[in-house]
Structure formats: C-alpha cells, structure tokens
Amino acid sequence: MSKLPDGFLWGGAVAAHQLEGAWKEGGKGISVADVMTKGAHGVPREITDGVIEGENYPNHEAIDFYHRYKEDIQLFAEMGFKCFRTSIAWSRIFPDGDETEPNEEGLKFYDNLFDECLKYGIEPVITLSHFEMPYHLVTEYGGFRNRKLIDFFEKFARVCFERYKDKVTYWMTFNEINNQANFHDDFAPFTNSGIKYEEGENREKIMYQAAHYELVASARAVTIGQEINPDFQIGCMIAMCPIYPSTSHPKDILKAQKAMQKRYYFTDIHVHGEYPGHMTRYFERKKFNLDITEEDLEVLRKGTVDYIGLSYYMSFAISHNESDETYDYNESKDLVRNEYIETSDWGWAIDPEGLRYALNWFTDMYHLPLFIVENGLGAVDEFDDDGRIRDDYRINYLRTHIEQMIKAVDEDGVDLMGYTPWGCIDLVSASTGEMKKRYGFIYVDKDNDDNGTLERHRKDSFYWFKEVIASNGENL
C-alpha cells in the first residue's frame, strides 16, 4: 500500500523560455530571457541592451520544444506522468505586453500543447509568469517598478484563464516570486520583475515596491480566475531554501528567523492576504514610503491562493554579525557554508531532510495544501561505452528527497498534491544559461557551444522514475 494518496500528481516541470526556443516564431515578442547571455558556475549571465548581433543567447533555440513537443510529451507519457508543469510564454500571447488584443498564433500553440497532454491523460500545471515577461515592458515601463504592469499582467492572466478554462485546472501566478529577496545581485530582480538597476539606486526599496505590485497582480488574477472557473486551483510559487542558524547561539537563531521572515513574507501575503507586522515595521524603520493603497490591501485580502507551489533544491545556513544589531538580511553576504552538507558541482547544498523540514514549516505556517513543483540535481551527464547514461547520482538525489517527502506526508500529515521534478527533459539552466547543467530523465543532444543534433535519449533515471510513478512511490 502506497503511503501517498491516490491521485497524487507525479510529473515533471519546465518553463517555456528554457525549452521552447523558436524565440521569433509564431508572432512571439522578445522576452527578458532573450536578452540574457550564457554564463557558467561563478560567471553571471549578462543582461544586454536588447538582442545584440554575435552574442550567445541560449534561450533563443533552447531544445526546440516548440517544434518537438509531440515527441517529448510522448516520452513523458511513457514515464507515466500524471501532470506536466510548464509556463505560458507571456510574449507569445502579448508580444510587447501592452497590446489590446492577444496574438492568436501564440494562443493556438498552447491549445495544441495542452491537447497533446490531455490526449495521454496528463494534466497541464501552468505558471503564468516564469522569468519571461515581454522585454518591451522593461524598456518602455521599467518592468514591475511601474504600477501599470499590474494591468498588463491581469489582462494576460484573464486571456489565459478564459481561453484554457476547460483544459487547465492547476495554475500558479509568479514563479519563485521571492527570489528577488536577493536584490543585491542583478539576476533575480531582472528575471522576477524586469528590473535593471541604475547606479546609486535604493535597490531594496525598488524591490519591495515591485514585489508589492506583483502581489497585487497575483491577487487580482486569483480573484478573476475563481470567477471564470470555480474549479480552478490557483497557487503561488515560492523558492524554498530553508535558512538554518549555523549554531545554537541565540543570536544565530534570531538571525535565521529574521532571514526567513524576509525570504518568505511573500507567502504570508499570498496566503493570508496581508502584510505581516515585521514587514510593515521594517518599511517604517527604513522610511521606504511605498505606494501601497487601501484598494491594494483590499485586493490582497480577497485574492488569496488555494495552494502553495514550491521549489526545493537546497538549504542555506546563516550566522549573526556582531557589528550589526539589526539582524537585517543580506542574502549575497550573510550565508555561510553548512559543514554537515555536501554540495553539487554548482555549489548547491544537497539536503534531503531539508525538504521534510520545509514541508512541515509551510504546513505549520499556512495550513494549505502544498505542491512540490521543482526539485532536482543539476549535473554533468556522459554516455558510457554502451551508449547509456548511468545517472545514479541523480537517482540518489531524487530517491533521498522522495523518501523525506513521503515521511512528511505519512508521518507528519502534510497535505501534498504532487511532485514534479525540475527539468524532466534537459533544458537551458536559468542561473547559468548552460546546457551542461542537466536535470533531465531525458537527455538532449546539445552542448554549451550549441553543438548537437537535439536528439532525445532516455537516461537510466527515466526507467527508474517510471517505476516510482507506477508504484506511487513504493519502489524507490
């Protein structure tokens, strides 16, 4: 007897910009992902001013899913997927983001894609905004610095809900909205919010303002979606990296708690519909004077989510700083290495127990169903002499995480909807733009220098995951 509920949503997750390619086809506009070059571990991707001739933009072709989705979905069906998480590329539907009418060719592509999933009984699980807003909204409006973006997002959401109301039940609004808690780096503010900072700007204040507009946009979308189809399940999506105190020093404990508040207050607003006291006090202390209206607060109260979607890859650890009595969190400076934990080739801490901890933490805080919509190991894969990819390191990572997930459900009573490992087919890495950082059960023949046939091959983990799904998590 499986310890997971019947109907548990096993599947895989991707995002449009990381696999579709066809960046200029079907009337698609340029997105923020289309102006990011390739980086590497420790080498950030560059955000260029528009698309510059001669630069390497890995998302332009990606793995050409736009033309190959039928073959790929057939492979997902062969693994027994119950669901498939992807996003709708905003710039396929509204190429510039501010048009009055949507692009029919873009809408049609997702009709075909969802029909193809449904043909095999695979539920689409859809993120509306996954690091791919139309680039025009950045150049013309400054991204989510601008309140107008709320209306543009709302319109996009409404068009998608209306068009796909009979095909899609599970939705999420903004992918990993809380990544931008790391506003000191350029990556998250740009991918989350379309924000490029000028020298000398108050980055933190701008981030909180943008996040506020996104939270309002999300809440409006939730309310509209529930009206369009009351059966919709609309969630938020949070990047969960639990932050542990590095020692039992009370100041480390407090520092970790304050850091958790800063990284996860987004969830409080999505779920409870209001700002927690520690955030309103913080804004006052910092004299941010944000544009938050009474009407916004009403919208937030109304548009609370049905479930929490989360990604889980790693945990963090933190120490207090004797010279700073405020406990204010600086994600790019304050984190320390956790000596009990191994890291991946890209430096991400591998911590299966952290997943159980995270599921319990969310449950204690919010009492809502959870959906693990990303988890996985980015690793280098190589064919052996028999033409096989023996990715036991990936199987080990997933097995140990699934074990902890099952304990959270079975022993701790966590209400869990499903599990969709990230990058079920190899795709372009978000943080580095590399192909080499692979997550898939399905290998795609393409390297970091754009060589390869784009052919698909089943890895050992493909057959393993198929058995995991078939046994509903019994045979790991």
What residues act catalytically? 176, 374
Strands (E), 285-415: 307-311, 316-318, 335-336, 370-374
Smallest distance, Å, CB 188 to ligand P53?
A: 7
- Going by C-alpha positions, the residue among 172, 176, 88 that lies closest to residue 134 is 88
Sheet of strand 316-318, all strands in order from the earlier edge strand to the far edge: 243-245, 316-318, 335-336
Q: Long-range pairs for 392-400 at CB < 8 Å and ≥24 separation?
A: 392/460, 394/439, 394/459, 394/461, 395/460, 395/461, 395/464, 397/350, 397/352, 398/461, 398/465, 399/476, 400/352
Integer CA distances (angstroms), 351 to 101, 222, 341, 356, 369, in order: 46, 33, 7, 10, 22
Smallest distance, Å, CB 437 to ligand P53?
A: 5
Return the bridge partners of 7, or none: none
Contact call for residue 138 and ligand P53 (CB under 6 A): no
Q: How far is CA 345 from the centre of its chain?
A: 21
With a CB cutoff of 8 Å and minimum separation 6, the contacts of 413 are: 363
Q: What are the phi and psi torsion angles at 456 (to 5°)?
A: -105, 140
Smallest distance, Å, CB 309 to ligand P53?
A: 10
Number of residues that bind ligand P53 (CB under 6 A): 17
Residue 236: both structure tokens together: 């938020």
Smallest distance, Å, CB 59 to ligand P53?
A: 11
Per-residue binder mask for ligand P53 (CB under 6 A), 326-365, x = binder: ----------------------------------------
Radius of gyration of the chain (CA): 21
Residue 459: both structure tokens together: 């890895």
Smallest distance, Å, CB 469 to ligand P53?
A: 21
- Going by C-alpha positions, the residue among 309, 311, 310 that lies closest to residue 375 is 311
Pick between residue 268 and residue 426 the one whose CB is nearest to ligand P53. 426
Where in 44-103 is the site for ligand P53 (CB under 6 A)?
none
Interface residue with ligand P53 among 163, 212, 320, 437 (CB under 6 A) is 437
Pick between residue 303 and residue 376 the one whose CB is nearest to ligand P53. 376
- Interface segment toward ligand P53; rule CB under 6 A; list 271-279, 405-413, 427-435, 468-476: 427-435
Residue showing the smallest CB distance to ligand P53 in the complex: 431
Smallest distance, Å, CB 222 to ligand P53?
A: 20
| Antiparallel, parallel or unpaired: β 233-239 and 456-458 | unpaired
Pick between residue 338 and residue 429 the one whose CB is nearest to ligand P53. 429
203 and 184 Cβ atoms separated by less than 8 Å: yes
Pick between residue 15 and residue 222 the one whose CB is nearest to ligand P53. 15
Spatial separation of the C-alpha atoms in residues 444 and 438, rounded to whole Å:
9
Interface residue with ligand P53 among 33, 239, 260, 350 (CB under 6 A) is 239
177 and 238 Cβ atoms separated by less than 8 Å: yes
- Going by C-alpha positions, the residue among 446, 374, 375 that lies closest to residue 65 is 446
Spatial separation of the C-alpha atoms in residues 149 and 192, rounded to whole Å:
13
Smallest distance, Å, CB 276 to ligand P53?
A: 23
Contact call for residue 378 and ligand P53 (CB under 6 A): yes
Interface residue with ligand P53 among 135, 141, 266, 313 (CB under 6 A) is 313
Contact call for residue 235 and ligand P53 (CB under 6 A): no
Interface residue with ligand P53 among 103, 311, 375, 461 (CB under 6 A) is 311
Where in 387-426 is the site for ligand P53 (CB under 6 A)?
422
Smallest distance, Å, CB 113 to ligand P53?
A: 18
Interface residue with ligand P53 among 4, 9, 15, 75 (CB under 6 A) is 15
Where in 175-234 is the site for ligand P53 (CB under 6 A)?
175-176, 179
Pick between residue 76 and residue 282 the one whose CB is nearest to ligand P53. 76
Pick between residue 216 and residue 428 the one whose CB is nearest to ligand P53. 428
Pick between residue 91 and residue 179 the one whose CB is nearest to ligand P53. 179
Pick between residue 4 and residue 310 the one whose CB is nearest to ligand P53. 310
List of residues contacting ligand P53 (CB under 6 A): 15, 18, 131, 175-176, 179, 239, 311, 313, 374, 378, 422, 429-432, 437
